[in-house]
Amino acid sequence: MEPMEAMKSYIENPPEKEADSIPMEIQQHLYTKFMQNYCEKWLKTQLPALDGETPLQAVKTGAGRRKVINLLKSFENGEEYNKRVGRLFYDLTWM
């Protein structure tokens, strides 16, 4: 089968999606717990993007604060996108 024919066939007759065996509410709960733990550790992790400082150290200066804000905006945008498209997401507003 030619590649274009295969693409057309896939679009017209997509494969059936397997149902997840874990309910979405439970997946979301587990993801939230995982991300909460990750973010709490992230705040205390030395990051190359912050010149080796932790986010908590970096926010003490104007330049560091701007870098942390940019990192958080990027992180938040990704989570917001996940929320909009129906994926698991994490609310970062506490940070």
What is the mean predicted confidence (pLDDT) over 44-70?
97
* Residue 17 falls inside a structural domain: no
What is the mean predicted confidence (pLDDT) over 19-23?
79
* Residue 94 falls inside a structural domain: yes
The whole-angstrom separation of Cα 34 and Cα 11 is 35
* Residue 37 falls inside a structural domain: no
Domains identified in the chain, total number: 1
* Residue 9 falls inside a structural domain: no
C-beta atoms surrounding 49 within 10 Å: 13
Q: Could you list the residue range(s) of the whole structural domain that residue 88 is in?
A: 46-95
In this model, does residue 31 exceed pLDDT 70? yes
DSSP 8-state class, residue 53:
B
* Residue 59 falls inside a structural domain: yes
The whole-angstrom separation of Cα 13 and Cα 7 is 10
The pLDDT assigned to 39 comes to: 96
The pLDDT assigned to 20 comes to: 63
* Residue 40 falls inside a structural domain: no
